[in-house]
Amino acid sequence: MLNSLSARRGSSEESEWLSVSDLMAGLMMVFLCISIVMMRSMMEEREKIRALAQSYRDNQLAIYQTLMHEFESDLPRWGATIDKDRLIIAFNNSDAMFSTGAAEMNEDAQRVMESFFPRYIAALKPFLGSIRAIHIEGHTSSEWGAGGSSRENYFNNLRLSQNRSREVLHFVHGLVPADEVPGMLALVAAVGYSSARPVLRADGSEDPEKSKRVAFRVITNSEAQIHRILEEAI
C-alpha cells in the first residue's frame, strides 16, 4: 500500500515537473522570438540610418562637385573659396565689397554678384528637392573702430553683418526671375553672425581679413530625414 502511494506521489511530482519545464521552455521560446524581432528591427533601423548617411554624403559630394565645376576658374580672381564639408562659398575680405563700416555694395562687388548668383542658382536647381535653405551669411572680424567694449563691438558688428547680408540678398534677388527657378529663390535668406565665427590662423589667432566675409551656404534637408526615421522607429 505504501509502495503504491509512494509511486503515485512520485508520478504526480514528475508530471508537475514536466509541466513546469514545458512552461519554462515555452516562455524561453517567446523571449527568443521577441529578441529576434527586436534585433531585426534594430538592424533595419540601422540600415536606414546607414543608407541615409550614404545618401547624405553622396548628395553633399554631388553639390560640391557641381559648384566646383561651375566656379573653379573664377574663385581665385574673386578671392573666394569653397568649403566641401559645409557647402559654403565664401567671398573673403568683404572690405573689398563694401566701404569700411558700410553696407552698400560697391560696383566691383555688384559685377561679381551679377556673374556669380544666376549661375549659382542654376547649378543648384537639380538639387532643389534636397535643399532646405540657402543662407547668405555676413561675417565680420572682432575689430570695430577705436575703443568701445567687446560687447559694444560685437553688437555694432552684428548690425553691420546683418545689413550687409540683407544688402546682398536684395541685390541678387533681382538677378534671377522667380519664374525661371520655381521655389529656389524662396529658400534664400540673409543671416548676420557678427564676429561669432572668425577664421583662425594656424596658431589659433584670428585672421581679421578672412574673418570679414560674405558667404553663400547650402543647407540640405538631411536633418528632416533623420527626424522622420526616428519617428518611424518609435
User: Is the residue at 187 inside a domain?
Assistant: yes
Same domain, 175 and 212: yes
Q: Which domain holds residue 13?
A: 2-50
Same domain, 69 and 27: no
Average pLDDT, the chain: 82
Same domain, 187 and 80: yes
Same domain, 206 and 166: yes
Nearest one of 91, 131, 93, 130 to 112, comparing CA atoms: 91
- Strand ranges of the sheet holding 88-92, from the earlier edge strand across to the other edge: 80-83, 88-92, 213-220, 131-139, 188-192
User: Is the residue at 138 inside a domain?
Assistant: yes
User: Is the residue at 234 inside a domain?
Assistant: no
Same domain, 84 and 107: yes
Q: What is the 3-state secondary structure (H, E, C) of 137-153?
A: EEECCCCCCCCCCHHHH
In whole angstroms, what is the distance from residue 95 CA to residue 211 CA? 10
Task: Check which CATH number belongs to the domain holding 77 and give it.
Answer: 3.30.1330.60
User: Is the residue at 210 inside a domain?
Assistant: yes
Same domain, 122 and 214: yes
Same domain, 28 and 109: no
Same domain, 8 and 75: no
**What is the number of domains present in the chain?**
2
Same domain, 12 and 77: no
Most confident option among 25-29, 69-73, 170-174? 69-73
Most confident option among 39-43, 60-64, 99-103? 60-64
Per-residue pLDDT reduced to its tens digit, 119-147: 999 999 999 888 999 999 999 988 876 56
Q: What is the pLDDT, as a whole number, of residue 5?
A: 44
User: Is the residue at 233 inside a domain?
Assistant: no
User: What is the pLDDT averaged over residues 193-202?
Assistant: 92
User: Is the residue at 232 inside a domain?
Assistant: no
Instruction: List Cβ neighbours of 85 (8 Å cut-off, separation of 6 or more).
Output: 60
Same domain, 124 and 215: yes
Report the run of H or E that residue 52 belongs to, with start and end: helix 2-71
Same domain, 40 and 69: no
Nearest one of 134, 135, 136, 138 to 196, comparing CA atoms: 138
Same domain, 70 and 34: no
User: Is the residue at 136 inside a domain?
Assistant: yes
